[in-house]
Amino acid sequence: MGLHNTEYKGLLGWVDARMPTLMSEYKKHMSEYYAPKNFNFWYYFGVFAMTVLVIQIVTGIFLVMHYKPDARFAFESVEYIMRDVPGGWFIRYMHSTGASFFFIVVYLHMFRGLLYGSYRKPRELVWIFGSLIFLCLMGEAFFGYLLPWGQMSFWGAQVIVNLFGAIPLIGPDLAIWIRGDYVVSDATLNRFFSFHVIAIPLVLLALVVAHILALHDVGSNNPDGVEIKDKRDPKSGIPLDGIPFHPYYTVHDLFGLSIFLLAFFAIMFLAPEFSGYFLEWNNFTPADPLTTPPHIAPVWYFTPYYSVLRATTEDFMWVLAAGVAAYAILLFVTLRNATVKYAILIVALIMIALMIGGPLKLDPKFWGVVLMGGSVLAFFALPWIDQSPVKSMRYRPLWHTGLLILFSIVFVILGYLGTQQPTPGSTYVAQACTLLYFSFFLLMPWWSRTGEFKPVPDRVVFHAH
């Protein structure tokens, strides 16, 4: 008959006989996916991110029903949603609060990865897909921010598109190509709308599926960084420290989710603008191509990278060039392969020439863009630059955790400075933080393997409540 030999009865049996994929995938990813039993607080943020993704898609679908992607009507149509559409304010605030929460949740999710070495072998691909999701998210947030067509929308887009103009030779033409006009205009708004509602979400969803499939192939890491698949029940082959995702973690996550949604809706109802951090005051003024607001800053989740961009001034180029020289010498002394050594030396010399001297010198503006890009892309390298013999910070020297906390503080300081007007003093702080930020990554191959490591237990550490 060609039917699958099913173990189920009734309707499910009828479906399973014809489409066994349904139940076999359900088992693989839910009822028979064995997750370590020692997940802690930090393991909530993946499911929170999924929830926010769903919130953004659902609210987005409804916003598109009332929004008009036209430079003449866009600002008004958002106000129309807020004032005249029944329930419109609820849907719009949910979408705007969701955008900020997406980044809060994703940053904490990434911090968890650094804390427990979740990106280490065999989870490199999980991390790469995750980093790509992060890039998509930044694109999605950037394109979406233009749509209300307020002052901050307009000038934010103007600055970011002009970043591409800093690329030597092709830059100015590239910026025009992206805008579809010589200034940010209706053409820009329309294409950003298309990217925001169709193109990026499709890629984002595909990446989320890849992220989860890759995770379920290798299995989840845990706070101890112990591979639970190494210790299995001899009869069933089930990891001894694993418990089925459903029902154990689905129920566990629902509890966490209820607390998360409490915080989400508290902010959404009581402080949706969040003192100008989630919705900036300037964006309540319609876009004016002739006047930049007296103080412009990106939304909080972009400000750390924005600070790095601003920190790159003419004077700072000398410090950067010295940094490149020092790093090249460090690599030259420690690497063994002669070809690689000399290649690094040549690359470093070219970089220094492009940074500080000679006819080839490129503007600090260009290097600012390079550093800003580098500060985002650095996360991709983690699986390879972390050379620690153990994954989890629990069994690494205490000062490793100290460095991670220092890095997080630097990230927050950069973020704070990015929301403020630059002054000579704050620029020095931002420059120091930029150096620390990059040192954390660039020196990781060395610092991550030094110090006294504690023995890693065979099985996960777990105390039943």
Partner 1 sequence: MSSEAAPAPIDGDRRAALISTCVVGGVGTIAAATPFVLSFQPSERAKAAGAPVEADISGIAPGEMKTFEWQGKPVWILHRTPQMLESIKKVDGEVNDPKSERTAAGYPPTPAYAKNEFRSIKPDYLVVVGICTHLGCSPKGPFAPGTNPQLSDDDQGFVCPCHGSTFDLAGRVFKNKPAPDNLPVPPYKFLSDSVVLIGDDSKA
**What does the binding site for partner 1 look like in residue numbers (CB under 8 A)?**
155, 158-159, 161-163, 165-166, 171-172, 175-183, 185, 187, 191, 289-296, 309-310, 312-315, 363-365, 368, 421-423, 427
Q: Which is nearer to partner 1, 6 or 162 (CB)?
A: 162
Closest CA to 371 of 325, 428, 429, 439: 439
45-64 and 200-218 helices cross at what angle (nearest 10)?
A: 160
Q: From residue 459, how far is each of 249, 376, 455 by CA, in Å?
A: 20, 35, 12
CB of 396 to partner 1, least distance (A): 39
Q: Which is nearer to partner 1, 211 or 310 (CB)?
A: 310
How far apart are alpha carbons 144 and 139 in whole angstroms?
8
CB of 191 to partner 1, least distance (A): 7
How far apart are alpha carbons 425 and 149 in whole angstroms?
33
Q: Which is nearer to partner 1, 153 or 221 (CB)?
A: 153
How far apart are alpha carbons 343 and 341 in whole angstroms?
5
Q: Are 94 and 370 in contact (CB under 8 A)?
A: no
Q: Which is nearer to partner 1, 306 or 441 (CB)?
A: 306
What amino acid occupies position 454? K
CB of 363 to partner 1, least distance (A): 4
- Bridge partners (DSSP) of residue 35 are 243
CB of 88 to partner 1, least distance (A): 31
CB of 297 to partner 1, least distance (A): 9
Radius of gyration of the chain (CA): 25
- In 232-380, where do the E strands start and end? 242-244
CB of 142 to partner 1, least distance (A): 14
How far apart are alpha carbons 106 and 207 in whole angstroms?
14
CB of 422 to partner 1, least distance (A): 4
Closest CA to 395 of 181, 165, 223, 175: 223
Q: Which is nearer to partner 1, 117 or 368 (CB)?
A: 368
E strand or H helix at 63: helix 45-64
Q: Which is nearer to partner 1, 164 or 379 (CB)?
A: 164
Q: Which is nearer to partner 1, 240 or 319 (CB)?
A: 319
Task: Report DSSP state, residue 394.
Answer: G
